[in-house]
Amino acid sequence: MAEILPPISETEKDEKDEETIVADIIEDDEKEPLTTKELRGWYSYSFACGAYDTAVIGLFIPVVLENLAGKAGYELDLVTPCNTTVKNYKCVVKFGTEYVDTSSYSLYIIALSVLFQCFLFIGGSALADHGANRKKFLLFYSYTGAIATGLFSLLLKAGDQSEWYWIAGILTIISNCCYGAAYVFYLAYIPIYSRIHPKVLSLKKTDPSKENLIKTQEEISTSLSAASTSIGFVAGLLVIFIGLGIVLGINSPDFGLQYAISFGGGWWVVGLTAPLLLLKTHPRPPLPSTENIFLYSFKRTFKTILSTKNLWQTMKFLMAWFFLSDGINTIAPLAALFGKVNLDLDDKDLIIIGIVVPLSAAIGVYFFRLIEKVFKLSIKTMILINSFLIIMVPVYALLGFVLPFGLKEKWEVWLFTVYFGLSLGSVQSYCQTLFCRLIPRGHENEFFSLFLITAKGSSWLGPLITGAISSATHDTRSGFWFLAFSLLFPFLIFLTVNVEKGIEDANNFAKNEMEEKA
């Protein structure tokens, strides 16, 4: 007697059709090799947004927020207006219904913006793995963030001076949210490019071993990530130089930095022209007809988190990256505020420091790349080396509690800055490269959203805790205690990550998913 099969539901049919299309899309990708023109368009985006990441949110905005909060703040008696001309001044400003230390205000604003970023990451990530949405989302968030940044100096002309600090805070939240959301879709191109690079496609024609193919794709991912990181730092450097010129050319340093922020927004807008014209869509499967466009990404992200048992090495990496990126993203604004308040650095000094960091980072990317090649070290080993070096940054600042050195004098700031910068770009580049190898095929945006959720999503933690510590102790140096422990923890986790097992698990995950729904 013939077996009667149950009818296939519309949902099952859509899922099966989707998996068939995924296989077809991957094959179609390889029929459309990566071109020099598209690669230039992709690199151009890093040159455009690097101005925001390195110069605007990395340097200009924290200083402007602290300046504006100080002007609107009060002494600890909550009556006397804050005197920001006094060295090591201790003032508070209203934040919601409470008062916080003026040096903590920018940390709280950045923490809030990162918290909102998480919703954008989850809400749009999986949608970009369907249709031609990747490029659309990339450009939409980029233009929105760039315009909000460009309006910075204009909107701060409105209203009373005491209102400027919260207007600046709102603009910071909007611009930073959009920058982070756009970067998800930008990074998701890396694993695709590593599969359709001419070098990889040529190698596949020779029937290479699995190990050789993986090694070649890894080298390409590393090269793409390193070049993109360096280009972003160079763009940031140029904008910082121009920002310094604006500050020196305007009698008011405060307004000078605000105009520098707006210039960074304009740089971002103009720089989007090349990606707009040159980037390809690389379409993915269409969104299943039974899915809700507003809930789909949340559903897929939740499903991905539930798959932890099948992708344990990937999840361990993300846990380590959560704390490492949190520490890295907190060091820069905390050190800038510490230098301004404790070492009496002026805005010009901070801008010069902002120039040294990306310059050192760009050099560090290729310096550590050279070390990797000369000593034939693995990507995991390079991450461990860089992570250990970065741990020493807050440790050095904490030495100031008991020793005559440890960020006690201005000259130490320059040593601190160069040392931090050398490892900063390198560790970010290597982490992006390693994560590319741990992503199941066909889930690039979905997993890179998790990558940035853990990176940017964790960034609220450091500023929030260090801000609370600074508010409670009225001593910015105390915040480095948290950074020391938050950087040690990921180093220990990275030691346990089995990269080969992670790559195998990712391949099996994609394969099993297709077999289950076939």
Query: Which of 425, 60, 421, 45 is closest to 240 using CA atoms?
Result: 60
Answer whether residue 99 is part of any domain. Answer: yes
Q: Please state which of the ranges 15-19, 54-58, 278-282 shows the lowest mean pLDDT.
A: 15-19
Mean pLDDT, residues 50-76: 86
How many independent structural domains does the chain possess?
1
141-167 burial, b at 16+ Cβ within 10 Å, e below that, comes to: bbbbbbbbbbbbbebbeeeeeeebbbb
pLDDT at 167: 87
pLDDT in tens, 303-322: 767 766 788 999 999 999 98
Q: Residue 475, class by beta-carbon neighbours within 10 Å (0-12 exposed, 13-18 middle, 19+ buried)?
A: middle
Res. 267: pLDDT tops 60: yes
Answer whether residue 11 is part of any domain. Answer: no
pLDDT at 13: 46
Give the length of the chain. 518
Q: Which two tokens stand for residue 331?
A: 């060091």
Tokens 């009225």 found at: 474
Q: What CATH number should be reported for the domain holding residue 256?
A: 1.20.1250.20
Mean pLDDT, residues 364-392: 93
Mean pLDDT, the chain, rounded, equals: 82
CB 346 within 8 A of CB 248: no
Answer whether residue 217 is part of any domain. Answer: yes
Answer whether residue 8 is part of any domain. Answer: no
Res. 3: pLDDT tops 60: no
Cα separation, 410 vs 346, whole angstroms = 11
Amino acid at 483: L
Q: Please state which of the ranges 154-163, 285-294, 370-379, 457-466 shows the lowest mean pLDDT.
A: 154-163
Task: Tell me the HSE value of 74 on the side-chain side, using a 13 A CA sphere.
Answer: 11
List all residues 6 or more positions away from 125 whose beta carbon is below 8 Å from its beta carbon. 184, 297, 300, 301, 445, 446, 448, 449, 450
Answer whether residue 286 is part of any domain. Answer: no
Answer whether residue 455 is part of any domain. Answer: yes
Count CB atoms within 10 A of the CB of residue 267.
26
Answer whether residue 3 is part of any domain. Answer: no
Domain region containing 175: 16-280+292-517
Answer whether residue 71 is part of any domain. Answer: yes
pLDDT in tens, 243-260: 888 888 887 666 788 899
The model's pTM is 0.73
